[in-house]
Homo-oligomer: A and B are copies of this chain.
Amino acid sequence: MTPSAAPLDHVRPGVDRSIRVFLDRQRPLFDDPQLAVLLSTAEDFLSGGKRLRPAFCYWGWRAAGGGEESGLLMAAASLELLQASALIHDDVMDASDVRRGMPSAHRRFERVHAESGWHGSAEQFGEGVAVLLGNLLLVWSGEMWRTSGLPAEALAVAQPVHDHMLTELMCGQYLDLLEQAQGESTFDGALRVALYKSGKYTVEQPLRLGLVLAARGRPAWIDRLCEQYGRQIGIAFQLRDDILGVFGDPAETGKPAGDDLREGKRTMLIARALAEASDAQAEAVRSLLGAPDLDEAGVERLRSVIEDTGALAACEGMIKSYLDDALHTLDQAPIDETARTALAALAVAATARRT
């Protein structure tokens, strides 16, 4: 199957416009020259991205019978603000220098401090401002969701899903930090992180939000579709992300090559590699994974271990299997036919090899 960008392209203009409308509403407060940089940096971080989360929300809404509506696009677009917040905080937590090929938020503010010759630690200033900017985007995401213009009854039904998603997201990121620190690499642990850290809030919950908003309720078929299509695609998406984090082209991932290896991420790739590793291979993983000064040769060595142990092929197999199961579930769901086609294409696009 060839990935089609059509269901993303369909949503993008409305999402972009919604973000502009919301930020314009905030603009008066940021006329203050000292505050302007917060808004402009937020805008910058919101200008990129595939709009995957809004797309799952939008096509969920369409699947349950919703039509073209600006309120839904506003609500869906608010998920991009949540994502921008998570990325900015993530980069602080991982001490990452680069995001989408540009300096990460904390590094940008660190540089402003250093170039201005201000007092105190430039690094601490950069991190502090990035925490606050992430907070701002987090609270704005909630505000944008609630002021989307959707009917109060629809929002009331969806709000518990939204609340749960946020709690789950913070817990998932915590589990990610914990697994990394504990350095354990079990299949279960890796799967749990893949599911909670990213899978759920990338696919399952955005999809559920759209479905519940349109259905104004939560019939059993919605949870079945979310769990058996959304969850599977969410995990497959994260597995693909893990593979890109090790083998991806920096020009495309926007991150330096092998960044996940340098950060010591405990992904399914690593768990699979360790399960099949020879003593020498296991020793290479132990000594190189998470080494802050990991060089290109070290990255290459780890890549070889991941390929030679069959871990890469195993993860590709898992992605294919999750995708097949999800598409099968999707076929059975009592949903709108245009949305069915779009959600199938979206599933493929979210989990496909990028070339």
Binds B, one of A134-142, A239-247, A329-337: A134-142
User: What copy number does this chain have within its complex?
Assistant: 2
Contacting B at CB under 8 A, from A79-125, are: 89, 92-95, 113, 116, 118-120, 124-125
A49 at interface, CB cutoff 8 A: no
Main secondary structure of the interface of A (DSSP, over half): helix
Q: For A128, list chain B residues within 8 Å (CB).
A: 92-94, 177
Given A139-B138, A142-B139, verify A132-B173 contact (CB < 8 Å): yes
Cross-chain contact B124 with A182 (CB below 8 angstroms):
no
Complex CA–CA separation, A81 to B244 (angstroms): 38
Cross-chain contact A120 with B180 (CB below 8 angstroms):
yes
Cross-chain contact B35 with A174 (CB below 8 angstroms):
yes
Complex CA–CA separation, A173 to B159 (angstroms): 29
Binds B, one of A56-64, A164-172, A277-285, A300-308: A164-172
Given A146-B159, A163-B143, verify A38-B120 contact (CB < 8 Å): no
Give the nearest-CB partner of A182 in chain B: B118
Complex CA–CA separation, A139 to B143 (angstroms): 11
Minimal beta-carbon separation of A171 from chain B (angstroms): 6
Cross-chain contact A181 with B118 (CB below 8 angstroms):
yes
Q: For A156, list chain B residues within 8 Å (CB).
A: 152
Minimal beta-carbon separation of A128 from chain B (angstroms): 4
Complex CA–CA separation, A87 to B116 (angstroms): 28
Given A26-B167, A170-B132, verify A183-B119 contact (CB < 8 Å): yes
Q: For A168, list chain B residues within 8 Å (CB).
A: 29
A127 at interface, CB cutoff 8 A: yes
Complex CA–CA separation, A298 to B118 (angstroms): 22
Cross-chain contact A177 with B125 (CB below 8 angstroms):
yes
Contacting B at CB under 8 A, from A175-218, are: 175, 177-178, 180-183
B-contact bits for A139-156, CB 8 A (1 contact / 0 none): 110110011000010001
A264 at interface, CB cutoff 8 A: yes
10 chain-A/chain-B pairs, Cβ below 8 angstroms: A89-B135, A93-B124, A93-B132, A118-B183, A120-B290, A132-B177, A135-B135, A135-B138, A136-B170, A139-B142
Closest 9 CB pairs of A and B: A93-B128, A118-B181, A119-B183, A139-B166, A136-B170, A143-B163, A128-B177, A132-B170, A132-B174
